[in-house]
Structure formats: C-alpha cells, structure tokens
Structure 1
C-alpha cells in the first residue's frame, strides 16, 4: 500500500478535501478519552465546516463544543489520538470558541509523554494553532479545566508507513439463555427462589473473609483468611464452603463480586469504598494493590479448579488448608469502581482500574511475585472486571491503551462488565427522574456499540451487563408507573423480560437484574423496591416478574439467541432462539411500545406451521401456559400481541 496523503474526513469525503494535501484523516476509533468524560468525537465531527484553516478564508464555523464535565475531580481531561503508525506532524489547529485557558499538547507514547507545546485559548470563534514538527504515533491534548472550550481540531502531517487496517470482525457464540439470565443477590437468600435464573452475582465484602470487626487484626503481609468458618462470627458463623457447594447442587452458578476494602486497609475508619491502597501509594501502579491481589489469589485458590501448594495458603487456624474446591467459575474484583459519588479517593480512573485489574488478574504478569492474582492461583477461572456504574466504551478503550502499554496488549480481564439503568437521565446518575422501557432507551443499540468493539479489538472477552432494573414503588426515580390496565408489578415484569431479550439480541453473555429481593418497598428512594421478590420479612414472596422470568428460563433452557426477524410492523419485535442439538426453535414476539398496545391476529410468517405451540408467560406459575397455535388460510400463525412477550415454539431449520 502506498503512503497516502489524500484528504479524508470522518464518515464522508469533504468538499474541502482537495484544498490541502496534508490534513490527516481522523476517525472516531483513533480517539481515546483517558478520562472517559464527555464525547471526544465532537472534536472531529465537523470536518466540512473546519475545512482547511491553514488557508485563510477556507473554513466555516464549527459549533459543537467538546466538554468533559463540570466536576473538577476529573480534570485535567486528556484525549489521546492514536494514528496507528508514526506520522510526521507539522501543525495542530483548534477552533477556539470562548473562555480563557491553555491546551497542553504532548507527543511520544503513553509511557513517555513529551511536551510539544501549548495553545493559549481566549478568542471567540477563531482558529488557534501550534507548530509541532515531530514524528509520533500518539498525540495527547490536555484540557486543564472547564474553561478549555474548543469545537474542532485539524491535524496536519503525513504517515511514515502503511496505515494498519481495522481488525476484522470475529464471531462470538451467543450463550445458552438459561445461563445468560442472572440476578444480583446474597449468599444466604433462598436457593429455590434464586433458581428462577441461571447465575447469581453475589455481593461479597472483603471484610467477611478477612478482619471483619477485629480492630487488632494487622493484615498484610501476615494475612489470615477465613471461609469455613468466615470472619463473620456470632452464633452462626458463615461457612462459604457449604454455601458454594449448595449452589452447585441446584446447578446455580454463583459469581462472587469481591468488593469494598478490608478494615485494616482503610486509610480513614469507615471509608470502605475508598481504593484498597495504602497512604502514599500511586493508584496507577499495580504494586499499590498488592494486598488486594493477594486476596484475589487466596479466594481463587480455595474456590477455583486448581490446587495450589498448601504452604501458599494463608488461613485462620480454624480453616482447613484446602484448595481447588472447584466451586466457582467467575470472580469479580469490585463493584462500580467509577463511583464518582465517593470522591477522588473512591473513584478509579481507567488507568487506575487497569492497574488494579493487572495486579488482581495475574500479579501484573508475575511482577508482584508468588501468591498474587486470581489467574496465578487458577488459570481456568474467568476474571470479571468490576462492573462500571457508567456504561462507557471510552473507559474500556482507555483501559486497553494502558494494557497495550504496560502489559504488551494483554487485557487484564476475561469479562468486560458494565451497569446501566434505562431512564430519561441516561443512566444511574444523581438526577434520576423517570424510568423508561429498554426499547425507548435504545438499550440494544447502546450495548451493541460495546459488542462491536469487543468483536474487533478484544474478541476473546465476554461482556456482562451486571446491573439493570426497575423499582415497583412508583414514587422512586427509577420506578415504573401503571400503563393502561397494567399495574406497576406487571409493567416491571414486562420491562425486565424485554430488557433480557434486548440485551441478548445485542450480543452480551450475561445480564444480572438488580436486585433479587426488595430492600424496603415502601421507601421511595431508588433501588429499594427493585426486587423480583419481596423483602426478607415478607418471606421473599415472588412478584409477577419472578414468575415471568422463571417461565422464560424454563421455556428457553438450552436455546441461544439466533437472529432478529423482520416483523413488517413498526411496533413489533420478533427474536429467534435456536437449540444446538436439534432443529427446534422458539420465536419471541411483543409490542415494543409503552402504551398498553395490543394487536389482534398478527400474522407470523414462518417456514413451519405444523405442531406450533404458543407459550404465554404466567403470573402465578413457573412454567408458561401452552396452547396450539391457530393459522389463517395461508398458513400464517395468528398471534394476539401485547407489550408482554409471547413465545412461539416450532420445528425449523437452524440459521446459518
């Protein structure tokens, strides 16, 4: 391939493309927002208006400002441009809109940035520039504060070699639907009711396994872990060996989410949500997380599938020295590490989380020594990165850049993990106002962006949405409201089932509802009534959602998502699920509206119209109600559709 200096712009050729022979074409995939704040693509999305600012008068007025955040905690905000190969750079132009500040420009690489200069801002809708005159693959723009406002950049130079192609798309096999269905829960909740799903993301504080409320316990380096019995004492100390064995007996996969900070690690008493590092440690250095990485090793050693030397086990005297019990397949190293509401001490930047994951995954590729990292103890265990409170692809891209730089491209997690709640606020921020359906939220398409990235850049990874859900208290900011004849319990049930279906269609591997049981359904604060069963004191009485989910699990056990089927109707979704071992398939159809919409005698045109059963979700049973399908004179299946999904089981040819 010849070196190219043609003028290309994002998504299309610009009419200004022939004006200059050295504008570098910048694409969204080249931008890596190290702060994961704001939309950095706004810096390159108005190339037609930007034109060629080096030629006087050959430009328009770009309008869409890049803005990171009003929260000073995130500053300075840094955006990296990865050009793929070395380029000889001559100039950087930025469109200065308002306010005074200074942009700092760096070249070099993420391990060794070199100051290339700065651009003083303070004009009003005018171009400012910096002469670079260096060869580099990476360029970093640093925004010191909220006053650094620019709406477009134009970069000049030329490639010094062949520009690499975008990685090819890699097929990722969909999971079995019964294992895909998950819920967030606790180890001591009733198994017979948790079994409405296939997996449980278990909230598991570190202190349960080490230290608990013992103020005399010194911890690292002389750790003493306890699981049988655990550090939680009292009349009935917990025995996690038995807990995890009981989950196995009912074929319910439990995935511990190890979270918070052990008391001996807390820099200030009670700050259990701060980073698990010691005072003075560098949060971007994997060595700062050695205590946490040892905990991950010990947990994986006991409950993973690989036996380790007994001398490596660090246990309380009451705990038998055993390892390789083979009780868990997944292990998660935190919960919502991007917790902005805990301030800078609790919030992990992408680089900081990547550093902790590197320590927790394999002891930073062995650099921490023996006895650190989950994969060091059990190479077979799947390591889940702590679920991000914000569903941010930018955050994951920044973690990958850190991994490319400090781990030679080895990403320190087997599962990419995010959270998202469908509402008009766009997530679970402090200003939640109103829940919306997954379709109104475009949930499938938001998740598909992360899936597309995974399939090209991290093809061997799973993706989980490990928190989503709705409250049944209508006064909650994440609460559902009655719709037509449907009360809040029916609406929650419909939207949860539809969320599962949209998440599966997006291409994810697991989805966990938050939460299994209500915390206090009368409390209108968010997430107090998000359970699919009632509170413990109400004996975990199932809601309608519990029944619908159980019905769907029983109907779709052994099936995988196959494809979306054209419905020829703007308000109808139809998804197809197939089995691996035979030609059986199930279609799921529903009205994707939020208006209590109903469609009578909808015609479903499928190849096989003999022996077709209609499965309707039951609000009182664990199994769907089955009836034979009715057909019209042309052989179409006739369905009465509503906003509650209906399943259609038939024999069919598997999709290719």
Structure 2
C-alpha cells in the first residue's frame, strides 16, 4: 500500500493576479507574469519529431513540432548548390515531411543540424575554410523557400545547429551563425531565428554559453529565441558516478529548472524582448524486458529508466512547472522509440508507434488546458503540494486548478519508493468544482478522484503524484 501522508493544507484563493495566500509555514509563491502575456497551452506544448513522424497520431498531443533537419542531407559538401526541396538521399522535404505536417495542422520549427559539417566530423574546420559565405547563401535559400512568406510557407522558425556546445570552434561558429542568420533574415524577415542549445554562463559540450557572443550588440538583432535543452539528470557525487539517471521535475537538487531560471535572468539583463523556448526535455521509459538487455555503459553504470507511469507523471508536471515561468514554448523529447534500454533511446510517447501511458497523459493535458493559459500559483509547498490556476482564454470565469504532490523517485531507487498521497483541504475556491478528474494513462476515461465538499467553498481531495484537474466556474 502507498505510504499515506495525512495533513491538511488550507489554500486561500486571492483575486489579485500578482499574489496568493497560503497557510502559515508554507512557501509564498513568487510573483507571476500577467496572464495576458502567457501563451495558451495549445501554443505552448510541442514535440520533437523526424521523418517517420505520424501527424495523425501525434496531432492528438500537440500542434507544434520540431524537426531535426540535417544539412548534410541537403548537400554532399559545403559549397554545393541546393536542390530544394529534394535531398541528396532522395527525400523530398516538401512532399514527405513538411507538407503533410502543415496539412495536419502542425507548425514546424526546423533545427538545421550541422552534423558532419560541425563537431560530428574532426575536419569540419577544413570543410568550412573558404566557404563561410555559403552559410549566408544556404540560410537565404532555405528561408526563401520554407519561410512563412516564401513559396511554400511550410515553417515559422529556424534553429542554427542543434548542440554545438563548447566543442565547436567558437570564432568559426560565431562567423557561421552571423552569416546564416543574415541569410535567413534576408530570405524571409518573418522567420523567427532560434539559437542552438545555450545556457547562462560558460556552457558545456552540449550547450553554448550565452556570454560567448549572444549578448553582443551586432548579434542581438540576428536572433529572436533563446533555446534551452534541459534534462532532470542527477549530478555526480563522490558516491555516485552516474549522471545519466533522472529524478522528478521539482527535485531541488537538480539543475533542471535552474537552467531555465538562469537563462531568463540572463535574458532580462542582456537581451530583453527575446523569447525563451525549451526545445528538449524528457524522460526515458522502456519495458522490464528491455531493461534485462542493458549492455555496455548502461549496464556498467546501472542506468535506469523511469517506469511508464513516472514518465507520464513527470512529463505532464514538467509542462506545468515550465508554464509558470516566462517560457513561451516547450518541446518534449521524443515522439517514438523502439524500446531500447539506453539514455535518450526510450523517450518516446509511443513505443514502436503504440501509445505509452505518457501519450494518454499528455493528450489529456493538451485537450484539457489547450484553450487555457497559466494564471497564477495558488500554492507551492515543496515536498507537499503544488496547485496552479489556469484561465480559459475566451471565458475568464472558467478556471482549472491543477494539483499534485511535487515528489517522486530517482530512477536509481524507484523500485523501492513508496508514492506520496496527500489528503488536502482546498478552501475558498472561487466556485465549487464542476468536475474533478485524475491523470489519464490509457485510452479510457480518466480515473476518478476521491473528494467531498467540506463547506460552501471548500473541498477535501486526494492528491498524489499524478496531477488532478479541478474544473471551476467562478461565482
């Protein structure tokens, strides 16, 4: 039986947008942005895809998709002429990828991956020598064809490389970024230009430091979006040499949310007006049978994936905690996997295109909050209870409170973990609930949630690590 933590938490709902009241001893929630500038959830949730992406399937969970567009598929060598939209391996980006995605209602962010033209090849410096201007020509041609003002109007944003990090020669990358961004601007000024993965500070092998050049006055006009990749990985310690396993989103020992907060602070100081996107986050979940097949480093370091239920819980909760920040979009990684027991190899919402529990949970989130936007933090008590309020875009009287226990397990000890379940009293609701539903994990109605009236404007409800949706009509 789950371990039951019995305590009562009184939640005071205030009408002021910038503050909320909480019980004595509870953390006071931080100030939140005006609801007017927050995106609708349907304009916030995205997914990472590639050429086998199935629009009809994944259109159930979001309308934003990010694609890894490999530059070395467009041309054999730097300096070659382009045959847009046909690749050198005979893929037609228009007919086989972006056209069908657009027809299904998706908005596409194209990540222009350098791959063998970047740190994927030890001789990338020599490959670019004398061809730096080609980066401008490539960016302009791509923007002219694919951009929102172009011939096909197939996408709305371009990322310039994926994860060059500190591995890419910094002077060369600055030159290529500048050239390609100028080409994109000249090809279609309506396109949003997105940085590669970055972090505040010095950067690492997978994320460039924002201080490297993104605050330079000549670079600031050349991009619109600050791009973050963040994963809830556990830090190495003297007793833990494995930094590949993950923990729950709200775990304060992680860099997971700090990466976002630090980047927002950097943006506020150095690049006001730029949007912040999280274009990669996710959790691996493979089957027990696959776990028995671990090999190489995954076996040696005792790599552990999340359970299917944890993946569902943690993805939904990640979207929620991102939404409370000044983040305009969040793209989960990944759309599909083949049930491999390895880091990033089991991150799909589907397993061999069959929905996991996370698929149904993310679908429910998208359909429930799609026309709502984050309004405020009602309660934020670490290790106990989070309650966030969302407001319907066309009807401000319609609210949804999402409540959950911000607890969980590191994948290193999940098998012995006892999930938290909280008996909470929610007091002074703006109206009594019209319905209360648990988190969906299958193609069946969402599970019932135990609750009862506790007064004219209060309820007692059971809340666990799976978010609970409370639909309220304001009086």
Scaled to the shorter chain, the TM-score interval is 0.7 to 0.9
Structure 1 residue 421: Cα displacement: 1.3
User: In the alignment, does 2:74 pair up with 1:252?
Assistant: no
Alignment match, 1:206: 71
Q: Distance in 2 between matches of 1:512 and 1:255?
A: 10
Give the secondary-structure state (helix, strand or coil) at the position aligned to 2:455: coil
Alignment match, 2:267: 454
Structure 1 residue 419: Cα displacement: 1.2
Matches within 5 A, 1:220-299: 220=79, 223-227=81-85, 229-233=86-90, 237-241=91-95, 243-261=97-115, 272-273=120-121, 277-278=125-126, 281=129, 289-299=132-142
Q: 1:601 to 1:424 in 2, by over 3 A?
A: closer
Q: Answer yes or no: is the 8 Å Cα contact 2:233–2:256 preserved in 1.
A: no
User: In the alignment, does 2:47 pair up with 1:183?
Assistant: yes
Q: 1:246 to 1:588 in 2, by over 3 A?
A: same
Alignment match, 2:156: 329
Structure 1 residue 451: Cα displacement: 1.4
Higher RCO structure (Cα 8 Å, ≥6 apart): 2
Question: Of the candidates 316, 341, 346, which is equivalent to residue 529 of structure 1?
Answer: 346
Alignment match, 1:315: none
Alignment match, 1:638: 460
Structure 1 residue 275: Cα displacement: 8.1
Q: Distance in 1 between matches of 2:382 and 2:458?
A: 15
Give the secondary-structure state (helix, strand or coil) at the position aligned to 1:208: helix
More helix per residue: 2
RMSD: 3.1
Q: Distance in 2 between matches of 1:170 and 1:647?
A: 22
Structure 1 residue 256: Cα displacement: 1.3
Q: Answer yes or no: is the 8 Å Cα contact 1:204–1:258 preserved in 2.
A: yes
User: In the alignment, does 2:436 pair up with 1:614?
Assistant: yes
Structure 1 residue 257: Cα displacement: 0.9
Give the secondary-structure state (helix, strand or coil) at the position aligned to 2:37: coil
Q: Distance in 1 between matches of 2:259 and 2:446?
A: 30
Q: Distance in 2 between matches of 1:280 and 1:330?
A: 24
Q: 1:448 to 1:219 in 2, by over 3 A?
A: closer
Q: 1:435 to 1:598 in 2, by over 3 A?
A: closer
User: In the alignment, does 2:179 pair up with 1:359?
Assistant: yes
TM-score (norm 1): 0.57
Alignment match, 1:650: 472
The Cα offsets for residues 597-637 of structure 1, whole Å up to 9 and x where unpaired, read as: 44454112244233532132211128756889742125213
Question: Of the candidates 226, 229, 233, which is equivalent to residue 416 of structure 1?
Answer: 226
Q: Answer yes or no: is the 8 Å Cα contact 1:443–1:503 preserved in 2.
A: no
Alignment match, 2:9: none
User: In the alignment, does 2:401 pair up with 1:587?
Assistant: yes
Give the secondary-structure state (helix, strand or coil) at the position aligned to 2:366: helix
User: In the alignment, does 2:28 pair up with 1:174?
Assistant: no
Q: Answer yes or no: is the 8 Å Cα contact 1:304–1:328 preserved in 2.
A: yes
Q: Distance in 1 between matches of 2:140 and 2:447?
A: 47
Alignment match, 1:480: 305
Q: Distance in 2 between matches of 1:194 and 1:338?
A: 30
TM-score (norm 2): 0.77
The Cα offsets for residues 237-262 of structure 1, whole Å up to 9 and x where unpaired, read as: 43524532321222222211111257
Structure 1 residue 230: Cα displacement: 3.2
Structure 1 residue 374: Cα displacement: 0.8
Q: Distance in 2 between matches of 1:254 and 1:183?
A: 10
Q: Answer yes or no: is the 8 Å Cα contact 1:300–1:374 preserved in 2.
A: yes
In structure 2, the gaps of 5 or more residues are 1-31, 203-208, 409-416
Question: Of the candidates 221, 245, 264, which is equivalent to residue 434 of structure 1?
Answer: 245
Q: Distance in 2 between matches of 1:259 and 1:581?
A: 39
Q: 1:348 to 1:337 in 2, by over 3 A?
A: farther
Alignment coverage as a number of residue pairs: 410
Give the secondary-structure state (helix, strand or coil) at the position aligned to 2:379: coil
Q: 1:456 to 1:426 in 2, by over 3 A?
A: farther
